[in-house]
Chains A and B, each alone.
Chain A
């Protein structure tokens, strides 16, 4: 995989035709505006993968054994995972800034 690059163009002539950048999402972390942080209670979680399926970003990663992990670099705090978890294992907490 190529290294992530910050988008630096001089002008229209050296820009790509479309808004496309090389792996820039590795640098461009999008979680800075999260107000509510989902936290998984692993005592309650019986890895079913439902949160992973519903996360719109997608910011939930699954370990080999299916345990979900939240990627806080990109999670936007929408709370969909908490809403969908059938075991109520995910709770939302106000971010401290």
Chain B
């Protein structure tokens, strides 16, 4: 069945179709409608889940971790400062190996207050061990939630499904909502190896000295490593059942491209259109969208960028004192690779500033004309 849904509601539908059993969330713009709809679904009896009202995002994730520990499929959602307040609990969800799925609507961090999109909120959680997937359309948002449970519960790591504020969260698009019975076939009930259960007592997350802490960290990294393969498998199986596939990365006209643009989120769609315009003028340009950011698809990136003459990375985020964060990641993925094309790093669209085809044309032009790569280029800075 097709419905016209805003990105926020695509998240809600993804959670509903995944038959989540516990939802704990605290409202924040632009995420609020995600849980509004879910609470309505619970109240109407459409969704058999416990809706836990909490006093903060920190508690929202804490409650989610607790619910996940008893073996419930759990969902939460937030944005910006809310995600920052969850930070401690994100480490906890990872260490406790609770596969909570968290919808994050990318919103720029304050101050100054902003409700518009950029990726600094989610990317600040880069090193916690939570998986991160960046979506480009509302369809992808809904589908990614379902895939996220599949992978998260396999490798026992939480997963963040990320979408742009307003460009997706409040924009309506047609979304194909699959039949519940097909989703049930794809996603079996959650059954973790250890549960918090008074009939079978275990101690969870107790004090672990230096003798074993190191090994437990290794376990998290191995799970992340396995997750690369699991994302591929989950996506392939999803494709077979539902006819849609997204990949860990998605390339568009990259094969013979001289310049490859790196994008994530909604900038990707604009970049595709711009590539078509430029291709018509005979310029060999392509787009590589990074969808799964953690685990980072290092091998795929190496393979896709191996043939490019130049790479231009567009970051709607910045690691102050360094560069764009995707730029940093791409650069480090390529450093130990045999073919290392030069990379230009562009910062664009912070705080929700529109990234238009004109912006992207300017990025391509600048990359084309330059013979020395630069790490940090502010595009469209008012002077």
Spell out A's residues near B (CB within 8 Å). Answer: 1-2, 7, 9, 11-12, 15-25, 28
Contact = CB atoms under 8 A, between A and B. Distances in A.
B201 interface: yes
A7 B211 CA distance: 11
Contacts of A11: 215
A69 to B, nearest CB: 20
B247 to A, nearest CB: 27
A27 to B, nearest CB: 10
Interface string B91-114: 000011100000000000000000
B218 A12 contact: yes
Contacts of B216: 15, 18-19
Interface of B: 95-97, 156, 193-194, 199-206, 208, 212, 215-216, 218-219, 222-223
A53 B216 CA distance: 33
A19 B193 contact: no
A58 to B, nearest CB: 14
Contacts of B201: 1-2, 22-23
Contact of B193 (A7, A17, A25): A17
Contact of A16 (B193, B206, B218, B223): B193
B303 to A, nearest CB: 30
B193 A12 contact: no
* Chief secondary structure at chain A's binding surface: loop
30 contacts: A1-B199, A1-B201, A7-B212, A12-B215, A12-B218, A15-B212, A15-B219, A17-B97, A17-B156, A17-B193, A18-B95, A18-B97, A18-B194, A18-B204, A18-B205, A19-B95, A19-B206, A19-B208, A19-B212, A20-B204, A20-B205, A21-B206, A22-B202, A23-B202, A23-B203, A24-B203, A25-B203, A25-B206, A28-B203, A28-B206
Given A1-B201, A18-B97, A23-B201, 9 more contacts: A1-B199, A7-B212, A16-B193, A18-B96, A18-B216, A19-B95, A19-B216, A21-B206, A25-B206
A31 to B, nearest CB: 13
Contacts of B212: 7, 9, 15, 19
A20 B203 contact: yes
B194 A20 contact: yes
Nearest to A23: B201
A17 B202 contact: no
B339 to A, nearest CB: 34
A9 B212 CA distance: 9
**7 shortest A-B CB distances, which residue pairs?**
A18-B97, A25-B203, A23-B201, A20-B194, A12-B215, A24-B203, A21-B203
Given A11-B215, A12-B215, A19 B204 contact: yes
A89 B242 CA distance: 65
Given A9-B212, A12-B215, A12-B219, A19 B205 contact: yes
B90 to A, nearest CB: 16
